[in-house]
Structure 1
Amino acid sequence: MAEEASLELEDNTEPKSKKKLILFGVIGVVLITIIAVTAWMLLSSDDAPVANPGEEVVAEQAVSSGKEAFYAAMPRPFLFNLSDNGRTRLVEIKVQLMVRGTDDDTLIKKHIPLIEDALLTTFSSADIQKMSSPAGKDELRLLALRNVQNTLQPVTGRTVVEKVLFTGFVMQ
């Protein structure tokens, strides 16, 4: 009698352990699939370029000039308020400008107040909803580049700034 009871208990535990093994296997496969899909989506979204006509001109100029890249940091971060549905939000953006050659680097440093004015005008007129998304930040970066280039063009006679880079971006 005792032997039959122990045999019955052993027979009942084997299917449960097989069920647990199958359950853990299924959960593992689902987790690996979710991780793989997430990684693929994150990596593939960066590959799709945004087509802007102004950006192509800047890229062609960068390829044609074989000069070394220099980065000119703005002396102060841009600190401004934007309204969001009756609520005021504080935004701080740290900016660096990419130029080619030492001549352009010294030229940029000479015209810092003019560049700061163009950037602050661009940033303070931005939409808070757009600034909350990565695509909106990219759009703001391109708009800032165009405004800086358009501001410097009459003064310097050429496009000096190749890229506007956000090195710090805080919204509260």
Structure 2
Amino acid sequence: MEHLIERTLKTNEIFKGKVIDLEVQEVELPNGKTSSREIVKHPGAVAILPITNEGKIILVRQYRKALGKTIVEIPAGKLEKGEDPLDSARRELEEETGYKTSKLDFLLSFYTSPGFADELIHLYITDKLEKGKTNMDDDEFLDILEVSLEEAEQMVKDQTIHDAKTAYAILYLRMKASQSL
């Protein structure tokens, strides 16, 4: 795989923000030529697939400015600097939905857009929920929904659910449900 590696020659930091940083890297390609890569640096994130005692999936509906529309997602959020993903998942679940959990199971981690970003999302699942109180960030506004797996699948089909982490989580539940038949 060494024959595929691009060696970084120079990095130019363009922007440092609250959520992302942007840099442009000059790289040497495997064939010896040079090119530039625009890279979004992200601290990583967590996403949680919460399932109620009744088997409903807890989702959040929120406006996403980057998309210019409202979409439905599983609860998720950015890792704070040095924060353990498991602690972040517990925090985000409670902040966004008001639910606490005594048990979070790690499913997997995946990159969201590896062509230009290094964001890594850690996905967890829980079916041990205890209702509490939401504690959203000051700039966060959302609705909480509880839907069946079939309703969630329909939301993927009609693109009410329109992001990869949520679609993946629903696919995971469908595969798990199919295996237990």
TM above 0.5, one fold? no
What is the TM-score normalised by the length of structure 2? 0.23
Q: TM-score scaled by structure 1?
A: 0.24
Give the structure with the higher percent helix: 1
Relative to its length, the structure with more strand (as a share) is 2
